């Protein structure tokens, strides 16, 4: 247990949490999962996992909590969410410190993640008075028609290690104002922040008399994951993570005719046109490609640069990459922390080896980055230029590491085709000062970017919570967070009311 982690947990009164074991036992216990620091590679705590019995107990409690919670008027539910948002405001830095200790995110990004939770709570509070349904004219005299949005049930949330706090909140805060209870299955790479976030929300909900509104189940895919996605008591499974995981969730949930909301991998590209402001583009690309050590689903993984400016742009990027400080994510001034674990480092090395073998040229980075005094999983942010024919098959895969592959184009249509030419469809962006080129990229005919997110003159990552977040193709099609994503957490009911005193059938049917 690091000092910073202990301090953060203690400020949240979590040191004695029954799931947390701060003095890791020497002997192997199958009911425990060890949490290691990405910064040192060493164990920092253990967490107690669920078994079948505790899983059943939790689900039972969540179902009961849902039945009670749905009776609370939505604006009053909003007041509970408001108090939860305030709790996260108060404890923003401590929660950030836990994220830094557990997944290696640098302090400012870790706090930024908690800010997303605060923002979505604010958004949800407003929404609690705006769960609008439509009224529509009936074709029959003396009839009224309207639709209403109703609570759905306990919602199952699966989250990944890379946004271990915010992605739960995108789901949980919306679900709560929609009248749903939440059962959260976090990544076993980030269980401590899950315990902390859930406990904070739960304490507030308990104050309002709803003890089991937010619950947590933790365990392996075999024991917990499979049971969770097959569980008919969870009408919606919202899953954020890899395409592989999402395929399994989609398959199992659709087999039971449940709903799934999938936000899966990305392979995001930045197009830089010949007229772009290259300083602005370079700054945006560096953040999007190396931020969170390349472990955002929105990370820029491909750069598609106009052939007339590619060298100039690469000179700027290379210079910036060489000056980026890699090191302890908790330390001021560090911009790139470690990858999450040793497996991620292997993935990074394998991708680079494949790229070289396929004719790519490493322009900067390309190997591990030893940091004095730290034994964690540090790597160098890397730029690899594709061969002149733009053929580099490895770039079609999402490697969760800071590797940027560079391609060139002459014609904007080719650039857009290249950007769309991968399986994933999460985020995309273009840098240009030409409004026509920008609009071509956003074409209302749908012939521009095929992604769920398309930005102009900013990077692929760092989306605000107010927009719908998610993407197409292998990214899974789901939308979380802002806009009208809340509709996924409710069920729609169409109501027709006959006040004419006579029975009249629609479509002019006579049935005398």
Active site members: 263, 297
The stretch among 218-226, 314-322, 365-373, 461-469 that binds ligand UN1 (CB under 6 A) is: 461-469
Rg value, the chain, Cα: 24
The stretch among 81-89, 185-193, 295-303, 321-329 that binds ligand UN1 (CB under 6 A) is: 295-303
Q: Which is nearer to ligand UN1, 128 or 162 (CB)?
A: 162
Binding of ligand UN1 at residue 462 (CB under 6 A)?
Answer: yes
Token output for 418: 């290249």
Binding of ligand UN1 at residue 171 (CB under 6 A)?
Answer: no
Dump the DSSP string for 351-366: HHHHHHHTT-EEEE--
Dump the DSSP string for 431-472: E-S-HHHHHHHT-TTTTS--SSEEEESS-SS---TTSEE--E
Of all helices (H) and strands (E), which one includes residue 380?
none
Q: Which sign, positive or negative, has the C-alpha torsion 57, 59, 62, 64?
A: negative
The stretch among 216-224, 293-301, 379-387, 498-506 that binds ligand UN1 (CB under 6 A) is: 293-301
Residue selected from 100, 181, 199, 240 as contacting ligand UN1 according to rule CB under 6 A? 240
From the CB of 139, what's the least distance to ligand UN1, in Å?
44
The stretch among 48-56, 186-194, 225-233, 290-298 that binds ligand UN1 (CB under 6 A) is: 290-298
Q: Which is nearer to ligand UN1, 21 or 99 (CB)?
A: 99
From the CB of 482, what's the least distance to ligand UN1, in Å?
11
Direct distance between the N- and C-terminal alpha carbons of the chain, in angstroms, rounded to an integer:
79
Q: Which is nearer to ligand UN1, 45 or 426 (CB)?
A: 426
Residue selected from 205, 264, 278, 297 as contacting ligand UN1 according to rule CB under 6 A? 297
Contact by Cβ (8 Å): 47, 192: yes
Binding of ligand UN1 at residue 163 (CB under 6 A)?
Answer: yes
Contact by Cβ (8 Å): 394, 355: yes
Token output for 208: 């309002």
Q: C-alpha distances in angstroms, 245 versus 122, 136, 292, 480?
A: 30, 40, 21, 17
Binding of ligand UN1 at residue 172 (CB under 6 A)?
Answer: no
Contact by Cβ (8 Å): 334, 327: yes
Of residues 339 through 378, those in contact with ligand UN1 by CB under 6 A are: none
Q: Where are the beta strands (DSSP E) in 291-339?
A: 300-306
Cα 218 to Cα 186: distance, rounded to the nearest angstrom = 7
Q: Which is nearer to ligand UN1, 80 or 121 (CB)?
A: 121
Residue selected from 14, 84, 121, 167 as contacting ligand UN1 according to rule CB under 6 A? 167
Q: Which is nearer to ligand UN1, 49 or 463 (CB)?
A: 463
Binding of ligand UN1 at residue 296 (CB under 6 A)?
Answer: yes
Residues of this chain that bind ligand UN1 (CB under 6 A):
116, 162-163, 167, 240, 296-298, 461-463
């Amino acid at each position: 247990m690091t000092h910073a982690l202990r301090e953060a947990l203690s400020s949240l009164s979590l040191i004695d949490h029954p799931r947390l074991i701060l003095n890791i036992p020497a002997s192997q216990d199958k009911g425990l999962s060890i949490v290691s620091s990405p910064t040192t590679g060493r164990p920092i705590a253990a967490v107690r996992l669920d078994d079948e019995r505790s899983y059943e107990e939790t689900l039972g409690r969540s179902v009961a909590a849902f039945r009670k919670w749905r009776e609370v008027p939505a604006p009053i539910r909003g007041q509970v969410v408001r108090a939860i948002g305030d709790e996260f405001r108060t404890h923003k830095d401590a929660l950030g410190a836990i994220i830094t200790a557990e997944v290696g995110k640098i302090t400012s990004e870790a706090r930024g993640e908690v800010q997303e939770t605060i923002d979505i709570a604010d958004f949800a509070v407003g929404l609690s008075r705006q769960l609008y349904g439509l009224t529509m004219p009936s074709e029959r005299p003396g009839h009224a028609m309207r639709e209403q949005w109703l609570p759905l049930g306990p919602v199952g949330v699966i989250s990944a290690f890379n946004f271990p706090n915010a992605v739960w909140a995108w789901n949980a805060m919306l679900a709560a104002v929609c009248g749903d209870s939440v059962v959260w299955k976090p990544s076993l790479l980030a269980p401590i922040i899950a315990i902390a976030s859930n406990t904070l929300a739960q304490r507030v909900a308990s104050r309002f008399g709803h003890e089991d509104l937010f619950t947590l189940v933790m365990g392996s895919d075999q024991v917990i994951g499979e049971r969770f996605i097959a569980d008919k008591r969870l009408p919606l499974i919202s899953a954020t993570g890899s395409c592989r995981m999402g395929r399994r969730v989609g398959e199992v949930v659709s087999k039971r005719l449940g709903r799934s909301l999938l936000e899966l991998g990305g392979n995001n590209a930045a197009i830089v046109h010949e007229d772009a402001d290259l300083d602005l583009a370079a700054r945006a690309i560096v953040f999007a490609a190396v931020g969170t050590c390349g472990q955002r689903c929105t990370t820029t993984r491909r750069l598609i640069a106009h052939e007339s400016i590619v060298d100039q742009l690469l000179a700027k990027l290379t210079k910036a990459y060489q000056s980026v400080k890699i090191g302890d994510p908790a330390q001021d001034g560090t911009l790139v922390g470690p990858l999450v674990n040793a497996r991620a480092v292997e993935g990074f090395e394998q991708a680079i080896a494949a790229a070289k073998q396929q004719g790519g040229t490493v322009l900067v980075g390309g190997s591990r980055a030893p940091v004095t005094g730290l034994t964690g999983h540090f790597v160098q942010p890397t730029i690899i230029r594709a061969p002149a024919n733009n053929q580099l098959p490895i770039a079609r895969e999402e490697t969760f590491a800071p590797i940027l592959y560079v391609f060139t184009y002459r014609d904007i249509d080719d650039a857009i085709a290249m950007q769309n030419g991968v399986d994933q469809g999460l985020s995309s962006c273009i840098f240009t000062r030409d409004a026509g080129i920008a609009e071509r990229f956003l074409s209302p005919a749908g012939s521009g970017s095929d992604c769920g997110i398309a930005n102009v003159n900013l990077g692929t990552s760092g989306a605000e919570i107010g927009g719908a977040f998610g993407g197409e193709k292998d990214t899974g099609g789901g939308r979380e967070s802002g806009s009208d994503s809340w509709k996924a957490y409710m069920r729609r009911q169409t109501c027709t009311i006959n006040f004419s005193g006579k029975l009249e059938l629609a479509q002019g049917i006579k049935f005398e």
